[in-house]
């Protein structure tokens, strides 16, 4: 009779060996290029604002990420990146932290300083490749006329998923 309780304990211990370990938190980093600029098709300005289409895209991004748990938002010093990040910042109450467009190393250090946070990075077609390379080892290019890329990076696995929005 004492054998049955011992078998039960052994059986339960064996089940525990085959159950997956509790998953640790893996932070996500959303990386986007700024939305459409107002000077598209005209003589390029140094720091243009967003076009109406760009403002609509920034609102769409905010709607998509409003419940994603974003704790940090980083954008460059330019109006178009700040204005792309602003709707999400307003929805979540998370301030947009400015990081210079040429300061990729500083940006990566800031991201890595918050290993358990979900973060949004808003950059440019010429800065996103270096950012994605540093975060996940991915080589890619972004065309000058592409504004609809949302990259979802899981640094713990090096996974990068591109979503068009």
* 87: CATH: 3.40.50.1240
Task: Give residue 45's pLDDT.
Answer: 87
Cα dihedral across residues 82, 83, 85, 89: positive or negative: positive
Q: Which residue has the higher pLDDT, 27 or 59?
A: 59
Q: Please check the confidence at residue 21 and state whether its pLDDT lies above 80.
A: no
User: What band does 37 get if pLDDT is binned at 50, 70 and 90?
Assistant: very high
Query: Could you give the number of structural domains in the chain?
Result: 1
Query: For the chain, what is the total number of helices (H) and then of strands (E)?
Result: 5, 6
pLDDT over 90 for what percent of the chain? 75
Cα–Cα distance, 83 to 79 (Å, whole number): 6
Please state, as a whole number, how many other Cβ atoms lie within 10 Å of the Cβ of residue 142: 19
Q: What is the CA radius of gyration of the chain?
A: 21
pLDDT category of residue 26 using cuts at 50, 70 and 90: low
DSSP 148-165: -EEEEEETTTTEEEEEE-
What pLDDT, on a 0 to 100 scale, did the predictor assign at position 62? 98
Mean pLDDT of 101-126: 96
Share of the chain above pLDDT 70, in %: 84
User: Would you say residue 4 lies in a domain?
Assistant: no
Query: Between 82 and 44, where is the model more confident?
Result: 82
Over residues 25-45, mean pLDDT: 87
Residue 130 lies in a domain: yes
Q: Is 2 domain-assigned?
A: no
Residue 56 is part of which domain span?
Answer: 26-39+46-164
Distance CA 77, CA 72 (A): 16
In the chain, helix, strand, coil percent, each to 5? 40, 20, 40
């Amino acid at each position: 009779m004492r054998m049955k309780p011992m078998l039960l304990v052994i059986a339960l211990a064996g089940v525990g060996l085959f159950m997956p370990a509790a998953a640790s938190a893996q932070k996500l980093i959303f990386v986007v290029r700024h939305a459409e600029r107002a000077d598209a098709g005209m003589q390029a300005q140094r720091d243009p604002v967003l076009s109406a289409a760009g403002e609509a895209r920034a609102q769409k991004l905010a709607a998509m990420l409003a419940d994603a748990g974003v704790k940090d938002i980083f954008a460059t010093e330019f109006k178009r990146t700040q204005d792309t990040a602003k709707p999400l910042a307003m929805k979540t109450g998370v301030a947009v932290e400015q990081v210079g467009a040429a300061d990729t190393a500083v940006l990566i250090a800031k991201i890595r300083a918050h290993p358990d946070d979900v973060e949004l990075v808003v950059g440019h077609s010429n800065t996103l490749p270096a950012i994605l390379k540093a975060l996940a080892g991915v080589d890619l290019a972004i065309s000058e006329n592409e504004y609809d890329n949302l990259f979802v990076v899981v640094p713990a696995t090096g996974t990068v998923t591109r979503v068009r929005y």
